[in-house]
Amino acid sequence: MIAVMLVLLGCSGPERKIDPQVLEGLAAYIEHNHQAPEEYVLGKFADHDVIFLGEVHRIKHDVEFVRDLIPILQSHGIHRLGTEFARREDQYLIDSLLAAPAYDEALAGQITFQQSVFWGYEEYLDIFRAAWEVNNSIEDGVERFRILGLNNSPEWWHIQSQEDRESPEMLKKVWHGEGENLWARVILDSAVAKGAKILIHCGIHHAFTEYKQPVYMNGKFVRFDDSRAGNHVFREIGKRAITIFLHAGWYAAEGYAGSKVRPADGIIDAAMKVLGPAYVPVGFDTGGTPFADLPGETSVYRHGYENFTLSTFCDGYIYHKPFSEYEGVTPIPDFVNETNIEYARRQASNPRFRDASAKRFNKSIAKNAGTLRGVPD
């Protein structure tokens, strides 16, 4: 057994004491049940049909993990990936890209650009390349890998000012009736109804299945939000759908606009530090394990719950490395350029970019690539 000592862990505030017996229990569980993240995700498909893999965006190793999962999934009979980072409207483009005799980097960029003019990052495009490589290497008669675009097609040009962004009527025009229920329909109709299993790659807030996210405004809990894609899927198929969280910071208890804190009050980080590199990276269940009852008192996610715990938040967990080793994604040079600048201006979610230059767009993309919002302060 690994020796465990009292741990003092900073967590965006005063140092917190962590019970060494808690750490001992966590360490012992991982020692005896260690699974590499790829092995863990693949194993969950044995008794689940839909796995939501929730990230906190622009973390290099998380996106690379999804990329590297594609050939593993394909070789084990799982032929579908649903993605937040492409629109339903562009499904024909995705299908064309993955069926082409030669990989078309420009088309992959177009698909990504049309989903978000600010999402010019190489690692996200590499997911399309990985799927194309799988399809280009398999024999005739074998089912091809398919990426399903889940996202909506908002019309951001309706927003011309900050006041517009805060106007319910203007936001109705932007979204024109589209919600995450439509993401769920793709998952259910294009995979589950056909007896197929599917991995979903999206932000953690879209990935919630059983957990209901608290709406917290002006220092008060308002209500629970159960309109996320995962919530919709869960209502139809129950625990055949689960949420796996990719280790990243949680929003602090003060609200979603503030700083990030370590998940589970820093106890997971402390346990992994005790275990050391021999047991990292790792994937593990939350429910029914010593991780189940870990608290989250420092996080906004506890609001509205009498007893919020890690197993309330997610079903599974993947820890790749300590926060000190996190890297941002790689910006694509000239993602916005003179050929697509007019579209970028119209479709920028920030109205201050309506007249922006391509240089300003690309500068913003690069800045956000290096701003690791998933890492605690």
- CATH code of residue 288: 3.40.50.11550
Q: Which structural domain, as residue segments, surrounds residue 85? A: 36-369
- Per-residue confidence (pLDDT) for residue 15, from 0 to 100: 52
Mapped onto helix, strand or coil, the DSSP state of residue 85 is strand
Q: Tell me, what's the pLDDT at 364?
A: 97
Do 105 and 125 contact (CB within 8 A), yes or no? Answer: yes
Closest by Cα among 83, 91, 71 to 125: 83
Sign of CA dihedral 312, 315, 321, 327: negative
Rounded to whole angstroms, the Cα distance separating 22 from 362 reads 46
Structural domain includes residue 343: yes
In a domain, 28, yes or no: no
Handedness of CA 189, 194, 197, 198 (dihedral sign): negative
For 204, the token pair is 């953690």
For residues 13 and 15, give the distance between their C-alpha atoms in angstroms, rounded to a whole number.
6
Residue 56 lies in a domain: yes
Question: How many domains does the chain fold into?
Answer: 1
Residue 31 lies in a domain: no
Three-state DSSP class for residue 131: helix
Helix, strand, coil percentages in the chain from 3-state DSSP, rounded to 5:
45, 20, 35
Which H/E stretch holds residue 231? helix 229-237
Helix, strand or coil for residue 58?
A: coil
Per-residue pLDDT at 2: 44
Output the six-digit token pair for 345: 């201006």
**Cα 178 from Cα 24, distance rounded (Å):** 47
Does residue 3 belong to any structural domain of this protein? no
The per-residue pLDDT for 8 is 41
Looking at residue 163, its pLDDT comes to 95
Question: 229 near 201, Cβ under 8 Å?
Answer: no
Q: Is residue 18 part of a domain?
A: no
Q: Could you say which residues of the chain have pLDDT below 70?
A: 1-16, 377
Q: pTM for the complete prediction? A: 0.95
Position 361 in a domain: yes
Torsion angle of alpha carbons 256, 305, 19, 323, nearest 10°? -20
Quote the CA–CA distance of 116 and 347 in Å, as a whole number: 8
